[in-house]
Amino acid sequence: MNDLIFLEPVFHGKLWGGRRMEEEYGYELPDGPVGECWAISAHPNGDCKVQGGSWDGRYLSQLWDEHRELFGNLEGDRFPLLIKILDAQDDLSIQVHPDDAYANEHENGSLGKRECWYILDAREGGDIVVGQRAANRDEFAQMVEDGRWDDLLNRVPIKKDDFFQIDPGTVHAILGGTLVLETQQSSDVTYRVYDFDRRQADGSLRELHLKQATDVIDYATKAPENGTVTAPEVDGVTQLVSTPNYAVERVRVTSDAPVTMRQEWPFLNVSVVEGSGSVLANGTKADLPKGTHFIAPANSGDLVFEGNMMLIVSHV
């Protein structure tokens, strides 16, 4: 069976979140500030359930474990990617993620966390943190102790449709007023460097992880100056990045220019981030309202997209 696998998102309340995904995508959110929509995930902290089709009601992790043929018999003990939408009404913590080797050793066999951000929306004059200016571990620790955040952190101005690749070891933070589609390895390991001394609902401060952070920071990483996408768009498709863990593309579909994508990968993750339309696969047509997320499994055939919409597509 090669049905497209439509998934029910999992939502996570966050101190820094808001309610924007309710109005943008029509999602039914839990009460309180919601920061993250785990849209395509088989991670234990947010395992998505299949909606409709042959696998209705099954979890993505179950399909990965029991029907590996859907994913081209890809090797590995877990579905490798995780797709999120983040609604940062307030600033996220200053943080850094480990690579596979460090996470495997120190985080009970977890994957590391390479990730990238497509900026779906940003407030006027908004910015984010990508990169830091300390030359080594000792200098970083001293600048943190002295609270010299303006000197330490590299802030980058952002606008809608910018794109940023965040490799393990890169200090970063999404700041308030930003809506992001994140493609990442299937990992939930984050080392917080600074959280603006914010209090949680119970009055406590969130835990910081300075030792782990200074272990994993890549002090030689060159910080970006901007996130403008310069890659060419060919037949509606722009390749945003290709890394050892994933490749990500932006697909623009218009009423007078349908887009056909060949399915030549173990699987494709597809998210409708603007507009709406439809997809035809193996002779079956499905509507794609804004905020829809699905997986095109191996051998699902070419995908023909019609309508007026923008998609973010990823694969291993």
Distance CA 32, CA 300 (A): 39
DSSP 37-90: EEEE-EETTEEPEE-SSTTTT-BHHHHHHH-GGGGTT--SSS--EEEEEEEESS
Distance set, CA 140 to CA 127, 131, 211 (Å): 22, 12, 11
Residue whose pair of structure tokens reads 């390991």 in the numeric block: 189
Contacts of 78 (CB under 8 A, 6+ apart): 42, 43, 61, 64, 111, 186
Which positions are catalytic?
A: 192
